[in-house]
Structure 1
């Protein structure tokens, strides 16, 4: 995979870009403690599905403005968005209330910021709905209520994929995560 550094309002961001030249690109936002390498198997599967990937390297502390600057710098006007943990929180933030920049949203273990999470915490009660087809992949049943409650904050098609006993979806269930992403890139 090719490594690039992109300057954003928040500073330089390192990304890994790979896969075939394709009209479909997936922006992957890892959790704060995940390295970009944690997505290698996910990316390999996405590349086999004729998808190009852009993975933000570990340690990047991005804001919504940084994500849009990153997409502009890479000349990516339209992407599929996926993330886990804090990367999923950022994915919700950039996809919510912004129609037309993102084709789909797939998040692991995070519901919409306006619903209580598995610990009962609401991250942003004023967060607008996501206006894209959305899939939430949960690693265990403790997040099911959070995922189900998120449906009222998604104006596109919505689905939940529940796995059993998975602490880190991208690392421990890369085939399931990649499948959820690949299914969102299709027009079926």
Structure 2
């Protein structure tokens, strides 16, 4: 994958961009502890499905403004978003609100920030609901009840998929890629 550095304000982000030059792109956000190549297998599968991939290498401090600026710099008018772990938490925040720049969301390991977690705490009660199609992958780090509880914060089509793994990007790359492809298709 081709690494590219994009400056947004006083921060420089390294993004890895690859795949066919089509109008269908997927912004991938990894967990904070993931190596830079964690999504390589997922990306290879997405490229075979005619999807361009944009992977943010270190998502700490990433927000909606950074997502918009990076997509603008790359000439991407709209994108599908996918993430795992802390990247999934960021993905919920980036896609929150009215339908527009982001077409779909696929997350693993995290429920909607306004939904109570497994311990009953709410990460961000102010996080707006989603107005786009969302798929939540239930892993060993996300109980089914938390994923199901996220559904009330999704005003688009909502789907929950059980995948009994620790790291969906490396242990179930085929399932993660399939769910992303399903969300990028209009059928």
TM-score range, shorter chain: over 0.9
- The answer for the alignment partner of 1:154 in structure 2 is 154
Give distance in 2, aligned partners of 1:60 and 1:116.
23
Q: 1:121 deviation in Å?
A: 2.2
2:129·2:154 contact (CA, 8 Å) conserved in 1? Answer: yes
- The answer for the alignment partner of 2:179 in structure 1 is 180
Please give the residue correspondences for 1:70-109 in structure 2 after superposition, counting only pairs within 5 Å. 70-109=70-109
Q: Does the C-alpha gap of structure 1 residues 37 and 142 become closer, same or farther in structure 2, counting only changes over 3 Å?
A: closer
- The answer for the alignment partner of 1:64 in structure 2 is 64
> If the length of structure 2 is used for normalisation, what is the TM-score?
0.95
2:110·2:142 contact (CA, 8 Å) conserved in 1? Answer: no
Alignment gaps of 5+ in structure 1: none
Q: 1:61 deviation in Å?
A: 3.0
| Corresponding residue pairs, total | 187
Q: 1:97 deviation in Å?
A: 0.6
> If the length of structure 1 is used for normalisation, what is the TM-score?
0.94
Give SS of 2:37's match: helix
Q: Moved runs in structure 1, 4+ residues, more than 6 A?
A: none
Alignment gaps of 5+ in structure 2: none
Please give the residue correspondences for 1:109-148 in structure 2 after superposition, counting only pairs within 5 Å. 109-140=109-140, 143-148=143-148
Give distance in 1, aligned partners of 2:115 and 2:34.
24
Give distance in 2, aligned partners of 1:133 and 1:45.
21
